[in-house]
Amino acid sequence: MRASCVLLAALAALAAYYVYIPLPGSVSDPWKLMLLDATFRGAQQVSNLIHYLGLSHHLLALNFIIVSFGKKTAWSSAQVKVTDTEFDGVEVRVFEGPRKPEEPLQRSVVYVHGGGWALASAKIRYYDELCTVMAEELNAVIVSIEYRLVPKVYFPEQIHDVVRATKHFLQPEILQKYMVDPGRICISGDSAGGNLAAALAQQFNQDANLKNKLKLQALIYPVLQALDFNTPSYQQNVNTPILPRYVMVKYWVDYFKGSYDFVQAMIVNNHTSLDVEEATALRARLNWTSLLPALITKSYKPVVQATGNPRIVQEIPQLLDARAAPLIADQEVLRDLPKTYILTCEHDVLRDDGIMYAKRLESAGVEVTLDHFDDGFHGCMIFTNWPTNFSVGIRTRKSYIEWLDTNL
């Protein structure tokens, strides 16, 4: 009996050691976040073991775990009709909300889910529930895109999927089928989905042949650049769940089918050092000492290496491609982009990507709403239901939908 108690106590101590990570006191529901992070880390370690044994690619294994525990069939309610279909060969899930009697045509949001270009799905319950709530509260048609993921495809195929599906939806006959107002359409996405949404908005803005233009873009803690992994938010949140800096850099490398051998060098900005000529013209567009307010920069210092590893951008030139990193686009590309909403979270390595993009857009004459949450963490907006219900998740979703309701 005594031995059993000692064993149980030891196991409990080990579990607590695995779960506990130091978190700022201002983050929402810290113990719940620790448990969520520990669950995700556990799934990552299982997938890494599967990869090591040669049974499957670690990202395929990890996404299998994520989707297996959360996949939801297209289930319609009395208020929202949900259907799975294809738009120009790309799978989509369409949510048709209730119509307002006084409005024969509905507004619409094309939504792109997050997951590091490699994980999640439009069909898991987190995104299914988000889009269902949006469709019902906005009386709108929501198109959630099931784009292809790494490692089955790599950059720029994810962008191509999102562009193809959206262009198909914007055809007059398709808009008529779903009774959508062509003048009231928004492109939106979170995290890597926010990256793809921003890339699409820039591409559509430059397409003179596109008849129906987007009214809005709404970007939720978007990932927007891969030049500087030492912005104040990257330095402040280097180990903050659920997206530590090391994990974000690996997602970038995976997206470009690059080598993990470069990860440590990229973390210290060796890929954009002063001797990397390809990055010279782009650094000014990412000068966070001028783009970020003093409240954000605090005492953090830029990390600019005099000499680095030019081989990185030679082998992964996509790092400097504005389609992958919308934050570094030419100023001319940013002009005339639609009215923009950007949601950022304090405890997120990507916080400064969003703030800097808002600043660059404003400088280009774009109307921007920057919605910052001091207790938010990366991914929080989809965590609104038990057992992963966070106070900040409920508040961010409410704020996002309210902005769409007012502006769309």
| pLDDT tens-place string over residues 65-121 | 999 888 999 999 999 999 999 999 999 999 999 999 899 999 999 999 999 999 999
Could you report the per-residue pLDDT of 46-81, keeping only the tens digit for each? 999 999 999 999 999 999 999 988 899 999 999 999
**What is the pLDDT of the chain when averaged over all its residues?**
93
Could you report the per-residue pLDDT of 11-25, keeping only the tens digit for each? 344 355 456 788 888
Domain tally, the chain: 1
Candidates 201, 18, 15, 185; CA nearest to 106 is 185
Candidates 300, 285, 171; CA nearest to 237 is 300
Q: Is residue 366 part of a domain?
A: yes
- Which tops the pLDDT comparison, 11 or 335? 335
> pLDDT value at position 281?
84
> pLDDT value at position 271?
96
> pLDDT value at position 280?
85
Ranking 107-111, 281-285, 370-374 by mean pLDDT, the lowest is 281-285
| CA–CA distance, 197 with 103 (Å, rounded to integer) | 27
Read off the pLDDT band of 1 (50, 70, 90). low
| Residue among 191, 271, 273, 353 flagged as catalytic | 191
| Residue among 254, 348, 352, 371 flagged as catalytic | 348
Q: Is residue 38 part of a domain?
A: no
Q: Is residue 123 part of a domain?
A: yes
> pLDDT value at position 23?
87
> pLDDT value at position 18?
55
Range of the domain at 367: 75-407
Mean pLDDT of 336-345: 97
Q: Is residue 20 part of a domain?
A: no
Candidates 145, 143, 128; CA nearest to 75 is 128
Q: Is residue 272 part of a domain?
A: yes
| Residue among 58, 113, 347, 378 flagged as catalytic | 378
Q: How far apart are the first and last CA of the chain?
A: 65
Judge whether 378 counts as a catalytic residue.
yes
Share of the chain above pLDDT 70, in %: 95
Q: Is residue 251 part of a domain?
A: yes
> pLDDT value at position 69?
82
**Which strands form 368-377's sheet, in the order they lie side by side?**
81-87, 90-96, 140-146, 106-112, 180-190, 216-220, 339-347, 368-377
Q: What is the pTM of this model?
A: 0.96
The CATH number assigned to the domain holding 263 equals: 3.40.50.1820
Read off the pLDDT band of 210 (50, 70, 90). confident
Mean pLDDT of 18-36: 85
Residue 4 has pLDDT above 60, yes or no: no
Beta bridge partners of 142: 95, 109
- HEC per residue, the chain: CHHHHHHHHHHHHHHHHHHCCCCCCCCCCHHHHHHHHHHHHHHHHHHHHHHHCCCCCHHHHHHHHHHHHHECCCCCCCCCEEEEEEECCEEEEEEECCCCCCCCCEEEEEEECCCCCCCCCCCEHHHHHHHHHHHHHHCEEEEEEECCCCCCCCCCHHHHHHHHHHHHHCCHHHHHHCCEEEEEEEEEEECHHHHHHHHHHHHHHHCCCCCCCCCEEEEECCCCCCCCCCCHHHHHCCCCCCCCHHHHHHHHHHHCCCCHHHHHHHHCCHHHCCCCHHHHHHHHHHCHHHHCCHHHHCCCCCCCCCCCCCHHHHHCHHHHCCCCCHHHCCHHHHCCCCEEEEEEEEECCCHHHHHHHHHHHHHCCCCEEEEEEEEEECCHHHCCCCCCCCHHHHHHHHHHHHHHHHHC
> Whose structure tokens read 């309610």?
77
> pLDDT value at position 212?
78
Sequence-ordered list of residues with C-beta below 8 angstroms from that of 25, at least 6 positions apart, any chain: none
Amino acid sitting at position 397: R
Share of the chain above pLDDT 90, in %: 87
Whether the CB-CB separation of 212 and 175 falls below 8 Å is answered with yes
Residue 2 has pLDDT above 70, yes or no: no
Mean pLDDT of 211-224: 94
Q: Is residue 100 part of a domain?
A: yes
Q: Is residue 173 part of a domain?
A: yes
> pLDDT value at position 21?
80
> Whose structure tokens read 């129906």?
212
> pLDDT value at position 337?
97
> pLDDT value at position 393?
98
Judge whether 348 counts as a catalytic residue.
yes
Judge whether 191 counts as a catalytic residue.
yes
Between the ranges 38-47, 77-86, 209-218, 272-281, where is the mean pLDDT highest? 77-86
Residue 10 has pLDDT above 60, yes or no: no
Mean pLDDT of 151-180: 98
Whether the CB-CB separation of 127 and 115 falls below 8 Å is answered with no
> pLDDT value at position 24?
85
Residue 192 C-beta-side C-alpha neighbours within 13 Å: 26
Sequence-ordered list of residues with C-beta below 8 angstroms from that of 64, at least 6 positions apart, any chain: 56
